[in-house]
Structure formats: C-alpha cells, structure tokens
Chains A and B, each alone.
Chain A
Amino acid sequence: MLKKRLIVSLLLQNGQLVKSVGFHDYQIVGSPQIAIQFFNAWAADEIIFLDISTSCEYTDLVRKDSVFPELSSLIEIVKNSAKTCFLPLTVGGGVRTIDQMRELFLSGADKIAINTQAVRTPQLIAKAAERFGNQAIVVSIDAKRNNAGGHEVFIDHGKEATGLNVVEWVQQAEILGAGEILLNSIDQDGRLSGYDLSLIRCVASAVTIPVIALGGVGKWEHLVDGVRAGASAVSAANIFHFTEQSTRQAKKHMAEAGIDVRL
C-alpha cells in the first residue's frame, strides 16, 4: 500500500540552510549540500527546498574555506543536489513564471511549489499543470489563524494578508490543477508544540489531492498526530537538524505507532 511520507523541508536564504521561528527569526544551520547527503542516508522520503531569500546581506559574508563549494543560486543548489540525491526533490520559493519552472525541472527538480504567485495570478496553476502535469505542481500555502475560528492565507513570506479563507483557496487551487498542497502554519512555525491540527483537518477534508503538513513539529509524536489529522505526508523544517539520524528515528517512531512508512 501507499506509505505515508516523511519529507524534509530545507529552508534556504541566499544558499544557506536556516531554521525558522514564526516566519521571522532565522538561524543559519549550515549548507544544503551536507544536509542532502545525510537525509539521503537517513531514510527521508522526499526533500523540499524552499528558497525564502530576501535581500538580507548577512549571508553574503559566510565563510568560503570549506571543502564543498558555496552555491548561492537555487538552480545551482538543485543541480548539485540532483547529482547525489536519488530522492524526489520539490523546489519552491520565488517561483513566478513557467520559464523558471522549466529551468528548475531541467536542473533536477521533480516538482515545483508555488505560493505567492499562485495567489496573485491563480491561472499560473492551470498553465503549469497543463504544461508539466498536475502531479508536478505543488501549491504551497502559509496560513494563520483568524478571529473567526478559521485560517487566512498569507503571502510574501507571511508578511501580506490576502483576506482569503484557506479552505476556499485550497479548493480553488485543486480545481485549477494543483497536484498537492503544502500546508504551512505560520502560528506554529518553530514553536515545537505540534502542527495546527485543525488547519490540517479542515484542508484535508476540503480537497481530494494529497496534503503535506508543515509547521510546529517538536517531537516525533506530532508527526503521528499530523497523519491522523488527514495529512498524506508530514514535513518539518527545524527538528530534523537537531538529532542523530533524525528522520530515521522519526520513521521508527511512526512505524511503532502503527503508521505504514517506508523504513
């Protein structure tokens, strides 16, 4: 049977791997090249690269005396990763045009994630799905709780409120041809207190395409909760950097909890 997936989300700022709290505080963890090497060996099911670069200059002065080359464009990172990592690679962050997508696919990406541009010009989802196949298009959504008990969609690194209700947006994305939804909770980001389970539940029940949960994992049990809330795949961007053979340990825990995962 189809296994539940454990996906490592790698956040990139100017080529550096970062961890994130509340879409606001970032800490540099290292380089993507080494991360890929280890997650490839540690039973991860997929990798997602999310380029969340802005114009921060602090990463411009990162040391350049390590053995591996410093790569600072997303294309270079994808090409380099595809050389050594025989795992599916989803790439997102700042993807605006069909040409950009094509270049990323040719560099080794298997799926593309679009977020801000998908909200600004929803027809991009349809165009991309038609051109590359809907299974290659992931619509990435950053959501925050609103006062009405629901969730609102935010774009531009969580800075701009759209007024869109997450359920309406996710249903529109599915109709337009999205293959999967990457659902990130801004409230839970970096809090280590678990996913926003109500967010996962309402989105998973609103669509028939797979939903990948992201945002808030602090212990392996949260991944189990995410699957039980309806996610087809569970992801995290911070916690996998903290412990030895992290993803392998996480999957062991999930298997012990009765979840069918690839070990």
Chain B
Amino acid sequence: MVHYCTKCVYPSASAFRLVFDENGICSGCRVHEDAKKINWNERKTMFKNIAEEYRNRDGSNYDCIVPVSGGKDSYFQVHYVIKVGLRPLLVTYHGNNYLPEGEYNLERMREVFDCDHIIVRPSVETLKKLNRIAFKIHGDMNWHNHAGIETVPPKIAIKFNIPLVVWGEHGSLDLSGMFSLKDRVEYTKRFRLEHAQHGFDWNNFTDEGLEEFGRSELKEGLCPQDLALWQFPSDEELMKVGMRGIYLGNFIPWDANVHVELVKKLYNWKPAETPFERTYRNFSNLDDMHENGIHDYLKFIKFGYGRGTDHACKDIRAGHMMREEGIAMVKKYDHIKPRRDLERWLVYVGMTEAEFDRICDTFRDPRVWWIKDGEWWKDTICGEASSYGKVHLSEEQQTKYKK
C-alpha cells in the first residue's frame, strides 16, 4: 500500500529508497532538517583545506576537474571553485539531448569563466542504440546519460592525472536522505553502478552481453570498443592517480532557487524559454530534455509519480512552498504524457508511439498499479484512487495487475 510523507509529497514507492519515521516523515526531509544543524563555516574551511591539499604545485596541470552540464548547478560549482582559488578543467558528457538554451549555457562556459573545457560527444549512432536497448531492457532511455555523466569525468581525471573531482550535490542524499550530511559521503564507483546505473553496465549492452542476459532480440551490433566511453577506470588506475570525488553540497548549503538567481545575475545564465510539460520549474535539466520529459514519464509509469513531485519536495523542504501547493503540483504535472520531447525521441530512435506505449506498460509496478475496465488505476496523494489511461498489454501480461 503506497503512502506519502507527511511533510513533503514523496510516495513510499519511489525511484529512491525512502525510510519513514514514526511520524510518517521521510528520510529525505529528515536529512534536510539536519542541514540547519551543520556548522557551514567549518565546512567551508574544510573545502578550502581539501582544495589546498590537491592544488597543483608545479604549474603543469589543473587543480581539479569540475563535471559540468551547463546547468545552473554547474555554473554555481565553477563559480565557487574559482572563488576558492582553484583552476578547474571543465568536463562535459554531451548526451545529444540538449535544449537550445542548455546548449547556449554550455557553450559559453569557457568564455564566462575563462576556463578550459572538454566536451565529450559520443557517436550519435551509438547513442541511439543505447537509447533503444536501455528503454526496452530497463525502461530508461537515459541510461547512457546517467552512466556517461558519472564515467566521463573520472576517465578524464585518470587520463590527465588530476586527482580531485568536484561534483555538485549528492542526488540521493538530497532527494531521499540516503546519507546524512554528517557522513561527508564522497563519490564512489559503487554508488555509480548501483544507483546511477541500477546495476547495468556497458557490458550489458553489447551483443555478447545481451545474449548472456537472455535478451538477444535487443542486439544492435554494439561491441566493447563502441562503449569505451562508458567503461569506468579500474581500481588500479584510480589508486595510481588517487582520484577523489567530493560533493560541493557537503560543504555549502545547497538551494537550487538561490543558485539560479545568482548565476542569472552574475553570468546571464538562461532558463528554458518554453515551460516544461511535466514540471513548473524552468531552470532544471536544460542539458537533457528527456530528464523532465519521457525519462521522467517512465518514472510515473513505473512508480506513479514524477518531476512535479521531485521539485515540489525540494521546494517544500527549502521552505519555498507549502505542502498543499506541492500536492497541487503533483496533481497537475505527474501524469502528463509529454508530447514535445516524446515526438522528438520517437523520430530520433525510429519507434512508433504504439510500440513506446506497449513497452512502457511492461514496466508498471504491480504494487502501485492495477487494471480495471481496461484502464490503469492507482491510489493518489488525496486518498482516492484514480484512472490514468488505457492499458497497452496483452491479456496474459495483464494478469498480474488484476485485483
């Protein structure tokens, strides 16, 4: 039985693993409350000390790598790192899903910050294949993006022998309270495999890998070399360079609304011009139109919620929104099937909408969804159940959803 956090609007069946306390408050809210108890001045000093430890001494290399997407957080990270006196190398994984405003923000970073910037652009054919396979095997066409963002900067760190990588906020700590701020959790290869990639790695997408997985019908002719970009450095390479990934969010209080105002003012950062279909925010995920679009729609298909919920929870916790308003956002946005980026994607990968709907439905979680009168039903945050459109499954596939 799905239930909801009594403070924010997260459901208990979520993409992240939430824990609820005896008052029904989720671990994400609890961790967020703890932020008020952190001595941020002490944390800022800690960051300065780490910066000093890793600073390049002989002028032959950068002081650190900052993985950037061109988003508001990227701008803020680079702004802060430079303020502390570090000379970063900016590194981007370009998944080919940028909005024009996102592309604009990305391209100007080297000018605006006077920094060197490596943008890694994978082969479009390979990206299309990964989009298709990952969608069919895992219900997430954006696997390449989650994996690429987490793999390419470490690879560059190893190749350029730059140990320090400064990431932004820890996604799971922020959304679901997987860790506490006290833990000062750092980047790990383990977290990347388990939570960014859900256990799937590059070798699951080659012809050989799909054969072993029992899904040879999904083969697209990919071989290991095609996926070299997504192959994480070995433990030995990591140890040799001494790569250390830290999260800026552990050292300064993190608020997207504050960051966006700052980067707009100081650097003319541009938000999205057209409103997103699945969220009220216009400043998130300009680097990947599907993160707020069909990738997020798949979240609704699987778990019954979406970006409307995610952003409302962030804003409720930051004190910018009341819970009732958050509920209104959930009701307005979570279920929307986004037309714009769906149509783009179907042409991009060569799929029909009927096939898309059919594959989507195979990922519905039977603990959240059930079928009644040919329609999908689930409970809502308001307490009653509601229907959400036609079912696109065979009779046999429908059995596990019948109550």
Contacts and interface: CB of A to CB of B under 8 A. Distances in A.
A61 to B, nearest CB: 4
Contact of A29 (B2, B30, B178, B303): B178
A66 B199 contact: yes
A63 B303 contact: yes
A147 interface: no
Contact of A65 (B27, B139, B194): B139
A238 interface: yes
Given A41-B235, A244-B187, A58 B18 contact: yes
What's the dominant secondary structure at chain A's contact region?
mixed
Given A58-B12, A66-B199, A243 B365 contact: no
B238 A28 contact: no
Interface string A220-245: 00000000000000000011011111
Contact of B186 (A25, A30, A243): A243
Interface string B11-25: 011110111110000
A248 B188 CA distance: 13
Task: Give the interface size class of chain A.
Answer: 35 or more
Interface string B165-205: 00000000000111110111111111101110011100010
A61 B303 CA distance: 9
Nearest to A33: B199
Given A28-B17, A242-B185, A243-B185, A35 B27 contact: no
Nearest to A39: B190
A18 B176 CA distance: 13
Contacts of B12: 58, 61
B188 A243 contact: yes
A242 B183 contact: yes
Q: Which of A34, A58, A245, A248 has the most CB of B within 10 A?
A: A58
B363 interface: yes
B17 A59 contact: yes
A65 B17 contact: no
Contacts of A248: 239
Interface string B256-278: 00000000000000000000000
B67 interface: no
Contacts of B400: none
B2 A61 contact: yes
A60 interface: yes
A242 B185 CA distance: 5
Contacts of A246: 188
B372 interface: no
A26 B19 CA distance: 7
Contact of B189 (A18, A30, A68, A244): A244
Q: Which among B14, B185, B194 has the highest number of chain A CB atoms within 10 Å?
A: B194
Contacts of B190: 34-35, 38
B302 interface: yes
A34 to B, nearest CB: 4
Nearest to B188: A244
A109 B12 CA distance: 33
Contacts of A42: 235
B17 A245 contact: no
Nearest to B173: A27
Interface in A54-102: 57-68
B44 interface: no
Contacts of B239: 245, 248
Given A16-B17, A58-B12, A30 B195 contact: yes
Contacts of A67: 138, 198-200, 204
B342 interface: no
Nearest to B245: A244
A242 B179 contact: yes
A31 interface: yes
Interface in A1-31: 16, 18-19, 21, 25-31
Contacts of B368: 61
Nearest to B302: A65
A27 B179 contact: yes
B367 interface: yes
Interface of A: 16, 18-19, 21, 25-31, 34-35, 38, 41-42, 57-68, 192, 238-239, 241-246, 248
Interface of B: 1-2, 12-15, 17-21, 27, 30-31, 138-139, 176-180, 182-191, 193-195, 198-200, 204, 235, 238-239, 243-245, 302-303, 363, 365, 367-368
8 smallest CB-CB distances across A and B, nearest first, come from A67-B199, A28-B17, A61-B13, A66-B198, A34-B194, A66-B199, A242-B185, A38-B190
18 contacts: A21-B180, A27-B27, A27-B31, A28-B27, A30-B17, A34-B190, A35-B190, A57-B1, A61-B13, A65-B198, A65-B302, A66-B198, A67-B199, A241-B179, A242-B186, A242-B188, A244-B238, A245-B239
Given A58-B18, A59-B17, A66-B200, 17 more contacts: A19-B183, A25-B30, A27-B178, A28-B178, A29-B179, A60-B367, A63-B14, A63-B303, A65-B138, A65-B302, A66-B194, A67-B138, A242-B179, A242-B185, A244-B238, A245-B235, A246-B188
